[in-house]
Chains A and B, each alone.
Chain A
Amino acid sequence: MVKLCVLCNENRAMIKRPKTGQQICQQCFFYVFETEIHNTIIDNNLFKRGERVAIGASGGKDSTVLAHVLKTLNERYDYGCELFLLSVDEGITGYRDDSLETVKRNQQQYELPLKIVSYADLYGWSMDEIVQEVGRKNNCTFCGVFRRQALDRGAVMLGVDHIVTGHNADDIAETILMNIFRGDVARLGRCTEIFTQGESMIRRSKPFKYTYEKEIVMYAYFKKLDYFSTECIYSPNAYRGHARTFLKDLESIRPSAIIDIIHSGEAFEIKSDIKMPTQKTCERCGYMSSNTICKACMMLEGLNKGLPQLGIGRETTRTRRQLSDATNNEETEQQRTTRKTVQHFSKIERDTTIAPIKPRDPSLVNTPPPRVPTHILDDSTKSEKKDLSW
């Protein structure tokens, strides 16, 4: 007996939808997927007419699908936005330079202008060099802090005031759980907001807030989209891994748990007498900060001086490490000169022309095959190896 799609009752059911468990056909899947994102955009007034919007593109599945869907919806429902691709080159050999090739191909496939900013240009340090200095334990902090600023700088260069990122429902649910585990009340109150608005800073939004990661993979697979899927080579066994495993187990017990967590997170309200950080501007580079000097500048100073732990960890351990690092690095200190002064935020100039960047020959680039999703209806007959990284 051929199973029919439960939504349209016309076509054959090919997919079991991860979000609801319904068995539906491919067209209905594309339709509901895209419509839900459209609903999210409309209900939260994400876009205004004539707005210039940058899509944070890493070459991974989230950003590729985001670029594809936004382009489609922009045309279909006429949001009136100008879309750009914005990429960050952290300088990780064997990983980032390959994933950037995917972004360059995306630029041609979707016909969107692309801008790439790199840590080496902005800060004078690439991630490879940072990891050599810092080791493998706290390197993710550096990358994250630098990337945030890099994206905002790139946005100013493009002349956009709105960045969209591909954070999906799984990411947000994971972040909510992480913030509860770490007791970070300030972030807990903010992390479910679909919009983050800094004062003079670029707005950011997450149209995929209610979209499941599994569905994104499925969409990319069926639409045969081109994306890069490997983990960062420096990715450690972080605390986040525990939250991730827990979330995946929750999802296997009850598929709607991810949305339920986001629903709970939206209802959280922090007591008003709790002390929260206030927003100021960094004295050196003009970026937003909770202290007088922003984290990025502090970490850069540490790197340049040979004190890589500056800005990381608690006060007592920090001073201890600083002293021990200082004694170790006394000889090299004369040789080390500041690599680059970071340009002040207000002085960033806009790029008036954005030239298309040609991707390299695909046969020279290491592109691992995309993930195959595991919720297709005739899954049970397949006994080949599944993607176990979920």
Chain B
Amino acid sequence: MANNNFCCKCKTGQATIRIRHAFYCHDCFLFAVVGKYRTILGKSRSMNRAKGKVLLACSGGPSSISMLHMTKEFMHVEPYAKKKIQVLDSALVCHIDESALFEAQNGSTQKMKEMVEKEFPNMDFLSSSMQDIFLKDFTKDADLDTVLKGMDGSSDYDYLVKPIKQESTLNSETDRIDRLRELFNGINKNTAKEDLYWHIKMTMLVTLAKKEGCSYIFMGDTATRQAIKMISMTGKGRGYSIPFDIGVENDITFPGLTILRPMKDMLSKEIGLYNRFKDLEKYVIPPTDFNTGKPAKSSIERLTEEFITTLDRDFPSTVSTISRTASKLTPLNDMDLSKKCAICNMPYQAGIEDWRRRITVTNVKDKSPDAIPNEEKKKLDDSMIDMNEYLCYSCQVDMKDYKNDTVSRLPPYSVKAILDEYLINDNDEE
């Protein structure tokens, strides 16, 4: 068909790019991509209400870099374009340095700093390392001397721990790096490692945003990544918090803070082409994490990534259909937002433990046909806490892959959250 040669939008330019089933010319493609970014910002409820400072979460990967670039273009208002209202006051680029865990990321902070100074001079730059999660800055009223020790006697449904006072040995940077590495090495499966890694990162971003007085966080998740996360989170049991984890706009879980994902409609192919055309490829730091270079079955996330990208090759509408389905989900009406999971900070359902007891039976003692088999809650020693009561379903499932002593290396914010909730409950019962 002769139409293939002409751009489908302007109908005059030579079509050089194919996205999904449509052909675009160079200029129309760029216009369309930037248009998607602007649409999301324009439609955002919170941005229409109040302006504020924006924290740009930048990992150095391709979509973070293009997000920075698009934000810069967006902030720049031509003096003659009176209709363009400058929505973003100021922006702060935030980078979390993971070189303690991944050698390949060494020097990423330095590279990012140079790039921001050169290309994005009106943005500030802030960086933090992952091992800083063990510092007092990331936990309000931190008590670094208390850790949780895993106890024996946990059944399949609970996870018993005991708070112990332990002299804090996290005074130097190397101590903290070691602790971080021990924490992750103490987790057997990659799936649980990735989850913890992601939760720690999110917690750090949220804390930094609040500290710097930002009201928005922009994250660079693309449509492809959103589709992958939708499926992998379903597979991990995070259905309850999916609308918060991957939705375009989340102003509910963190009061005073809105998390936006302006790159949500863009495929990773579009991002790659944008970076090439705008000459940003030299700044891209290839993101390495636990999945890089691993075979497909090493973790749930990696398997899903392999599956979706392969399926998308044969059925190009896969990613957009899954994205659309994800955007139609909404949080449940009776969601209790006051209870948050100690590790991932997302709301969790009540009654999970009971549900699990009925579905997976492990007590074979009551074999008489009259008794309805029921698990008796073990009589807890007063000082022991059942950690599972303060975790969401998928964090509970992840905990099963933790070695016995890894619990004592959990970051202080989790420990504090568990202990605070436990003390509140304890006081209620009196």
Contacts and interface: CB of A to CB of B under 8 A. Distances in A.
Interface of A: 7-8, 19-20, 22, 28, 31-32, 35-36, 39-40, 42-43, 76-77, 176-177, 179-183, 185, 188, 210, 242, 246, 249-250, 252-254, 256-257, 259-261, 263-272, 274
Given A263-B239, A271-B328, A254 B234 contact: no
A89 to B, nearest CB: 35
Nearest to A180: B325
Contacts of B324: 183
Given A182-B321, A249-B303, A254-B189, A266 B358 contact: no
A32 B239 contact: no
A8 B321 CA distance: 48
Given A249-B303, A260-B393, 14 more contacts: A36-B360, A39-B373, A177-B231, A180-B325, A181-B321, A253-B303, A259-B237, A260-B394, A261-B237, A264-B233, A264-B239, A264-B240, A268-B329, A274-B328
A263 B237 CA distance: 6
Nearest to A266: B239
A179 B329 CA distance: 13
Contact of A250 (B303, B321, B329, B367): B303
Contacts of B239: 263-268
A297 to B, nearest CB: 29
Contact of B299 (A253, A260, A268): A253
Contacts of B242: 264, 267-268
B303 A32 contact: no
Given A8-B364, A253-B191, A265 B311 contact: no
B358 to A, nearest CB: 4
30 contacts: A22-B362, A32-B361, A32-B362, A32-B364, A36-B358, A36-B360, A39-B359, A77-B369, A177-B234, A179-B325, A180-B325, A181-B318, A181-B321, A181-B322, A249-B296, A249-B303, A250-B300, A253-B299, A253-B300, A254-B397, A256-B397, A260-B235, A261-B237, A263-B355, A264-B236, A269-B330, A270-B328, A271-B329, A272-B330, A274-B328
B28 to A, nearest CB: 26
Contact of B373 (A35, A265, A271): A35
A19 to B, nearest CB: 6
Most buried by B among A8, A39, A210, A266: A39
A264 B332 CA distance: 12
B297 interface: yes
A77 B297 CA distance: 43
Most buried by A among B191, B299, B358: B358
Contacts of A40: 358-359
Interface string B215-233: 0000000000000001101
B277 interface: no
Query: Which applies to chain A's interface (DSSP): helix, strand, loop or mixed?
Result: helix
Given A31-B367, A180-B325, A270-B330, A43 B235 contact: no
A261 B364 contact: no
A26 B189 CA distance: 30
Nearest to A73: B369
B325 A252 contact: no
Contacts of A210: 359
Contact of A180 (B231, B237, B300, B333): B231
B117 interface: no
B393 A263 contact: yes
A129 B304 CA distance: 40
B372 A183 contact: no
Contacts of A260: 234-237, 393-394, 397
Nearest to A258: B235
Contacts of B405: none
B369 A180 contact: no
Interface in B310-347: 311, 318, 321-322, 324-325, 328-333
Contacts of B156: 20
- 6 tightest A-B contacts by CB? A264-B239, A260-B237, A267-B239, A267-B240, A183-B321, A39-B358
Contacts of A20: 156, 360, 362
A257 B367 contact: no
B297 to A, nearest CB: 6
B330 A180 contact: no
Contacts of A180: 230-231, 234, 322, 325
B102 interface: no
A42 B359 CA distance: 12
A265 B329 CA distance: 11
Given A7-B362, A36-B359, A181-B318, A249 B332 contact: no
A257 B373 CA distance: 25
A269 B369 contact: no
A246 B307 contact: yes
Contact of B311 (A183, A242, A264): A242
B44 interface: no
B349 interface: yes
Interface in B352-411: 355, 358-364, 367, 369, 372-373, 393-394, 397
B329 A269 contact: yes
B238 interface: yes
A20 B360 CA distance: 8
B323 to A, nearest CB: 9
Nearest to B367: A31
Interface in B183-223: 189, 191
Nearest to B369: A76
Contacts of A266: 239
A94 B212 CA distance: 72
Contact of B238 (A246, A252, A264): A264
Contacts of B233: 264
A183 B325 contact: yes
Given A36-B359, A254-B191, A28 B364 contact: yes
